[in-house]
Amino acid sequence: MTKPESLVCINGNFVPPEEAFVSVFDRGFLYGDSVYDVTLTYEGIPFLLDSHLDRLESSAQKIAMEIKWKREELTKLIYKGVNKLEGDRHYIRIIITRGGGEIGLDPNLSDGQNLFLIFKELEPYPIEWYQKGVSLVTTEIMKTPKKAMDPSVKSGNYLNNVLALQKAKEKGAYDAVMLNHLGNVTESTSANIWLVEKGTFKTPPLSAGILGGLTRKSVLQIGREQGLEMREIDFNAETLRQADEVFITSSTREILPITKIDGKPIGKGIPGPYTKTLHNHYSNFVKQIIQEEKTKAIKSGLIK
């Protein structure tokens, strides 16, 4: 029997995507009252799964929602879903909503949480993205201030990011640069932003109002282990445009070079040597982690 390329798990039940439904009364649908996280697999092994589940739990705690599924349950469901799929490279989205109930903002109206796991084959990104780089534009749509919504929470509230990306697409760009209320760079709509200036790597600090990306964290660690100068520091859009090299980081895209911002080339307008070198180090890191995770999963009986 042929394995599917995509699958959905709803509260522990696996169904084809076309049979996956959520109630219109679910608070995730009505209010974005939900948390989520995303990872991917290499060789059929979920990458940094414990770290992603740590962040999921942290997000839930920060919106006063205690996840009712135990870590072991979530891990088993995720591996079960991956093992049902065709191929060995998949996208995994983990969503937990506060549940359904009577319509109203009061969280106490919830009748219980809902868990959704979305699995789908992750097609390779175009090689041209990495060979030639992609473009960004700055937009007037700001990153949500921390006092309005803690940026460390990965929640279903994403409308400002959606609108910023829409503006970027209207201008023919790959993604948007989102600034904070001080005019400093925060993130793109779905990735952390970095620049290279005279051999020094710089990325906005958490205090700028960004999500502490796991790839960002890994890149900081890898760079420092390799003796590279890695700094978490505020900078504005003009500094970003004047950088020698720029790239973004995320779990699924790893390290993606940016060669144009607001229509102007970055450096020589091609992916720079520091970005390429760092990506090579990151690729080696991924291989090491996957081997460790595979050994752990075999011992735990999660895979054969």
* Residues carrying an active site annotation: 154
Q: How many CB atoms lie within 10 A of CB 134?
A: 21
SS3 of the chain: the string is CCCCCEEEEECCEEECHHHCCCCCCCHHHHHCCEEEEEEEEECCEECCHHHHHHHHHHHHHHCCCCCCCCHHHHHHHHHHHHHCCCCCCEEEEEEEECECECCCCCHHHECECEEEEEEEECCCCCHHHHHHCEEEEECCCCCCCCCCCCCCCCECCCHHHHHHHHHHHHCCCCEEEEECCCCEEEEECCCEEEEEECCEEEECCHHHCCCCCHHHHHHHHHHHHCCCEEEECCCEHHHHHCCCEEEEEECCCEEEEEEEECCEECCCCCCCHHHHHHHHHHHHHHHHHHHHHHHHHHHCCCCC
CA separation, residue 111 to residues 64, 105, 106, 108 (Å): 15, 13, 12, 8
CA 247, CA 249: separation in Å to the nearest integer?
Answer: 7
| Residue 236: strand pairing partners | 184
CA 48, CA 288: separation in Å to the nearest integer?
Answer: 11
C-alpha triplet 10, 161, 190: angle, nearest 5°: 70
